[in-house]
A and B are shown apart, each in its own frame.
Chain A
Amino acid sequence: MEIKKIFDTIEYGPAPENASAAFEWLKQHQHKFNLFIDGKWQAPLSKKYFTSENPADKTILAKVAKAGPKDVDKAVDAASKAFDSWQTIGAHNRSKYLYAIARHVQKHARLLAVLESMDNGKPIRESRDIDVPLVARHFYHHAGWAQLMDTEMKDYKAVGVVGQIIPWNFPLLMLSWKVAPALAAGNTVVLKPAAYTSLTALLFAEICEQAGLPPGVLNVITGAGGIIGSALVNHPGVNKIAFTGSTEIGRGIRKATAGSGKKISLELGGKSPYIVFEDTDIDSAVEGLVDAIWFNQGQVCCAGSRLLVQESIAENFYAKVKARMEKLRIGSPLDKSTDVGAIVSTVQIKTIDELVKLGIDEGGSCFQPDSKLPEDGYFYPPTLFTDVSPSATIVQEEIFGPVLVAMSFRTHAEAVKLANNTRYGLAASIWTENINLALDIAPKVKAGTVWINCTNVFDAASGFGGYKESGFGREGGLEGLYEYVRPKLDDNLSDKPFPVKTVNRKEIKAGEPGIDRTAKLYIGGKQCRPDGGYSTIIKSSSGTYLGEVSEGNRKDIRNAVEAAHANSKWPGMTGHARAQVLYYLAENLAIRKEEFANRLVQLLDVDKNAAENEVDRSIERIYTYAAMADKYDGHVHHTIYRNVTLAMPEALGVMGIVCPDEAPLLGFISLVIPAIAMGNSVVAIPSETSPLSATDFYQLLDTSDVPAGTVNIITGKKEELTDVLAKHDDVDGIWYFGTKEGSRQVEFLSADNMKRSWVNYGKYRNWFDNEQGEGQLFLRKASQIKNIWIPYGA
C-alpha cells in the first residue's frame, strides 16, 4: 500500500504473527499425534484419530489420537506405577522438576502462544501476553510449593493418581492450573485436554520430556470428552478428579463419584455480575468490560457477562459501551491488532447464535457494532443486550460468547440482590471510587472472586473457584493446594466405632422420678412440636426406656432451613462476639455438667466418670472453637503489582449437620460448634439412637445468647431427614457422619445444587482424640475462601 495514502488516512494495516515455527512443529510430527503414556508416545489401541481444526480458517491442523477406555487404563496404570518413585524422590527434587518445566515453558513461550491461538482461535495478544506468562508463573509458584510441602503441609500427603479434565477456552492455562499443584503436592497425573484443543497439551508433554520429568508422572490422553471423561471419572485407580467445564458435566462427575471417596474439585460455569456504581471512573469501567466480556471472545467461565449499572448513569454508560464496542477489532487471531478472535467451533457459534436470537425474541434490544467479520472461520460480533431483566433467558443462562446483558439498579441493596439472583457464583466485579462501598458490597456478593475496579485478573498465588453452582474447590495459592492433598490422619480412621466401656445397668442408681420432660424440635430459637405429630421412643444402649423425642419430617427440615436463613444476626457478628457467646455456652454447660453427665449415663450405660469425661471434653471443644472464632482468618496474597488480594474465609451460609450416632454430646458439639464458630447457621440432625443430649442442649442455646436460628435441631429418622437436607436447594453445605451408603447418598444428592459436602464414608473418628476430633480441618470445611482483589493508586 502507498505510504502517502496511509499517511493521509492513518489506518491500521495487517500485522500477522509469524506462525512458521508452529507449522514446522506440526510438520515434524507429520501432523499426527499419539497419546503420551508412561513417558512414551503411544498409538491409541483403537488406532483411530480425530482432527483438530483451526477455528479461524477451518483448516485441519493435525490428527490427534482418539483414546478409548483401555487407553485410560494404561495411563492410570502408568500414573500409579510412577507414584511411588515420584514420592520417594522427595519434595526438593519434585520442586526442581517443576522449576525446570517453568523455565522450559518460558523458552518455548512464543511457540506455545502461536499454537494456542491457532488451535483455539484466541488473539495472539492474549495467548502471548496473558495465557503463557501465567502458565510459567503457575509452575514457578508451585515449584515453590513443591519445595515447601514437607514443612508447610506436614499433616497432609499426596492424594495419589489425579485425573484432570480441562476445557477448550484456556487449554494451556487450565492445564497449568491443574498440573502444577497436582505435581507439586506429589501426585501423578492423567490429563485429558478438550477435544477441540489438544495441541498445546501435547507440546507441553514434549516440554516435560525435555525437562526430564520421569515417565508416568504426567500422562496426556486425547479424545472425545464423554468416553474418556467417564472412563477417568469411574476408574478405581483414580484418587481425585479435577474438572473445569460446564455445570452440567460437573454435576454428573459429582454423582458418578459419590461415595467413592474420590476427592473432586469442580470449576464450573458462571454468569458473573459486573456492578458499576455512579461514583466510578466511568471510562475505566467501560474499558474494564473489554477485559470482562470480550476477553477470549467471552468464552471465559468468570466473564463479567451481566452488567449492572446504577440507574442514574445507565443510559450514559450504555452509550459509552457502544462507542467502545465500535473500536473492537474482530479478525484473525494471529493478527497482532486483533481484539476479538475466533469462536472455538461451529457448535459454539450455534449455541451463541441461538441464545442471542432467543434474547431478541424475548424482547431484549440487541446492539452489535458495525464491524465486518472474517468470512472463513467461526466469528461472532461483540454483542450488548439492553432492555432485559432477570426473567430473560439470556440473563440467566451462561452464553459463553461475546454477549453482554445489561440491567440497571436503584440502590446498593438492589445491586446485591440482582448480583446474587443466579445459581452461579464464580466471580464479580465492583466499580466504585468509594472504598467503603466497595468493601461493603464485596462480602455480600456470593462469588469466589471479587475484583474491585478491575476484572479477569489472575495470579498463581491467589485461589480461584466458585460459590454455589459454579463448583467447589480452589485453584491457585495455598487454598488450591489443599485440593491435591489429604490429611495423613485419615489413615487412622476406623471402620468400627470406638468401643465404649459400658457398665451393668443395675449399678446405676435410680434417683427420684423427675418431672416428665418432652424433648421437642428446636427451630428458630423455639421449641416446636413436630409437624407430623409423632414421637419416637428412645432407649438406652441396653434397651431401657428413657423417653421420647419428636419425629421430625421434611416440613420440619424446611422450617428449620428457613429459620436458619432468617437469622441475620449471627453471621453478622464479629469473631470476638461469636467467641464470647461460645465461651458463655461452655460456661453454662459446665454449670449443668452433672445433668448432662447423668443423661450420658442413661443413654450409653457408661459409668459416671466416663460420662463426665465426655462432658468435660465437650466443654473443652467449645473452648477450642471459641478460641478459634477470631483467629481462623485469611491471607493477603502476594499477587500482582499494587494490589491487595484478600483471601477471606467466609461462612458457607446454612449448613446441614448430620451427627454421628456415637458420642451423642461430644459428636454433636464437635461438628456443630466449628460450623457456627465460622458464622454458619446450622440445621443439626443429632444422633438417631441417643438424641437426648442434643435436645437437652437447646436449653443451653436458649440461655447463652445464641441468636435464634443459629442452631436448629431436628430429631427423627436420620437417613430420611438427611435426604431432605441434601436435596434442599437453599442449604449451602452438608456434613454427614454415618454409614458408607448414607455418605454416597449425601454426595449424590448434593450434586443438584452443588452444596459443599463432607462425609465420613462410614469411617469413624475418635471424638475423644483431639487430633481426630477437632482442628482447622473442621473450620476449613465450614468455610470457603473468597478472594477480593483491591488495586490501589490515586
Chain B
Amino acid sequence: MAKRSLKTKENMSHPRNDGIPFEPDLIKDIRVNRSAVERRVATIGTRRSVKKEWQAAWLLKAVSCIDLTTLAGDDTPGNVQRLCAKARYPVRRDLLRELGMADVNLHTGAVCVYHNLIPVAKKALEGTNIPIAAVSTGFPAGQVSLEQKIKQVELSVAAGASEIDIVISRAQVLTGNWKALYDEVSKYRKACGEAHMKTILATGELSTLTQVAKAGQVCMMAGADFIKTSTGMESTNATLPVSLVMIRAIREYYERTGFKVGFKPAGGIRKAKQALEWLILINEELGNDWLNPELFRFGASGLLGDIERQLEHYLTGRYSASFRHPMG
C-alpha cells in the first residue's frame, strides 16, 4: 500500500500541499457575492463551446477524472468488483480504438467506496494504479467522536486506501470556529500519512457562499490535497456557484503559498454536458494545469454512462442506448 502512495507522489507534477500554520487573516476578509457568482457561472456553458473531436477529447478527459463511486448500504463484494472492472475499462474498447485512444490506458481517476469494501476493491484493482478512495470520519454526517474519526482514517489507510475523503464538522463552520476546524482537519491529514486527503465541505449544509470559501481556505491551510463539495447525500450537492467559489479559493491559496490543491465536485453531475461545464469552469478560472486527475475529480456514479453514449454518438452520428455499454 505504502508503495502505491509513494508512486503517486513521485508521479505528481506539483509539490503536495503540506498546509500552513493557521492564519485567521487569510479568511477574515473573504467575501463572496452570490449574485455575481451566479452571473459568472450562468455564462460558463455559453462563453465556451467544445465540439466534435474536441468534445470527444474533453469527455475522455472527464472519464479519467471520475471517482467511480458506490456508497450504499447494500454494497457487496459483487457490485464493488463490477465497479472496479468498469474503472479499469470505463469506455468500450472498440470505441477507444476508433477514437485513437487504444494505447492510452484510460481508466477512471479512482474507485470510491466505504471502508468495509476496501479489501474487495484492492483485490479487484490489482495490477493497476487506480487509487482506492475511502470515505471516512463518520461519513456522511460526521457526527461521531474525533477519536473514532481519526481511527477510521488510520484503518482505511492501513486497509489500502490511498485517498481518504473526509467530512468536516459542519458545526465548526456554522459557529465560526475556524481554528477548531483547522485543528480537526490537521489531525486527519496527519492520520492520512501518504494517502491523499479530500476534504468534503458538505456545502449543501453550509449557509452562505462566504462560509464555503472560508471553510475551503481553512481546509487547505490544514493540508487538504483536494477540497470537495459534497457527500452526495445532502439535499443540494455540487453546483456551479459553489464550485466557482471553491475554485477561486484554491486559486487564492495557490497564489499565497504556491501549493496546488485539487477540486472535486460530487453529487448531481449526471450528464456529459454538465461535465464539460465543470471542465470549462476549471480551465477558465484555474487553468489547464488543473485538468488532470491529480487535481480534478468528479464524484459521480451515473456520469460515465452518459459520456459513453455521447462518445459513441460522436463516432457513429447515431444516438446511443445505455444497454450498448457495459455496466459498472
Contacts and interface: CB of A to CB of B under 8 A. Distances in A.
Contacts of A51: none
Residue picked from B53, B56, B101, most chain A C-beta under 10 Å: B53
Interface in A1-47: 1-7, 9-15
Interface residues of A, number: 38
A4 B104 contact: yes
A361 B283 CA distance: 37
A125 B47 contact: yes
Given A125-B43, A283-B248, A327-B284, A3 B99 contact: yes
A791 B51 CA distance: 34
Given A3-B101, A7-B57, A794 B49 contact: no
Given A3-B100, A280-B31, A281-B33, A794 B208 contact: yes
Residue picked from A2, A7, A11, most chain B C-beta under 10 Å: A7
A107 to B, nearest CB: 21
Contacts of B47: 125, 337, 339
A709 interface: no
Interface string A253-281: 00000000000000000000000000111
B130 interface: no
A3 B60 contact: yes
B146 interface: no
B115 interface: no
Nearest to B103: A4
Given A10-B283, A12-B48, A15-B49, A454 B38 contact: no
A281 B50 contact: no
A462 B286 CA distance: 36
A157 B47 CA distance: 44
A288 B36 contact: yes
Interface string A409-449: 00000000000000000000000010000000000000000
Contacts of B35: 453-454, 642-643, 791-793
Given A281-B31, A433-B31, A454-B36, A4 B46 contact: no
B57 A10 contact: yes
Contacts of A288: 36
Contacts of A10: 57-58, 61, 279, 283, 288, 291
A453 B32 CA distance: 11
Contacts of A454: 35-36, 39
A594 interface: no
A705 interface: no
A2 B100 contact: yes
A13 B50 contact: yes
B19 to A, nearest CB: 23
Given A3-B57, A7-B60, A337-B49, A453 B36 contact: yes
A284 B53 contact: no
A729 interface: no
Interface residues of B, number: 40
Contacts of B209: 794
B34 interface: yes
A633 interface: no
Contact of B101 (A7, A287, A433, A793): A7
Interface string A129-143: 100000000000000
A336 interface: yes
B171 to A, nearest CB: 19
B284 A284 contact: no
A791 B100 contact: no
Interface string B299-315: 00000000000000000
B32 A284 contact: yes
A287 B48 contact: no
B54 interface: yes
A7 B36 contact: no
A792 B209 CA distance: 13
Interface string A746-758: 0000000000000
A793 B209 CA distance: 9
B40 interface: yes
Interface string A463-479: 00000000000000000
Interface string B95-110: 0000111001000000
B210 interface: yes
Interface in A137-182: none
Nearest to B106: A7
B36 A281 contact: yes
A754 B56 CA distance: 57
A12 B47 CA distance: 12
A337 B48 contact: yes
B37 interface: yes
Given A6-B58, A281-B31, A15 B283 contact: no
Contact of A13 (B53, B207, B208): B53
B34 A6 contact: no
B65 to A, nearest CB: 11
A794 B46 CA distance: 24
B52 interface: yes
Contacts of B38: 793
Nearest to B42: A129
B37 A125 contact: no
B101 A129 contact: no
Interface string A288-302: 100100000000000
Contacts of B36: 281, 284-285, 287-288, 453-454, 791
Nearest to B35: A791
B49 A336 contact: yes
A283 B61 CA distance: 27
Nearest to A791: B35
Given A10-B57, A129-B43, A284-B40, A15 B51 contact: yes
A23 to B, nearest CB: 20
18 contacts: A1-B53, A4-B57, A6-B57, A6-B58, A10-B288, A13-B50, A13-B52, A15-B49, A15-B54, A283-B248, A284-B32, A284-B40, A285-B36, A287-B40, A454-B35, A454-B39, A792-B34, A794-B208
Interface of A: 1-7, 9-15, 125, 129, 279-281, 283-285, 287-288, 291, 327, 336-337, 339, 433, 453-454, 642-643, 791-794
* 6 tightest Cβ-Cβ pairs between the two chains A and B: A6-B57, A284-B36, A791-B35, A793-B34, A13-B54, A336-B49
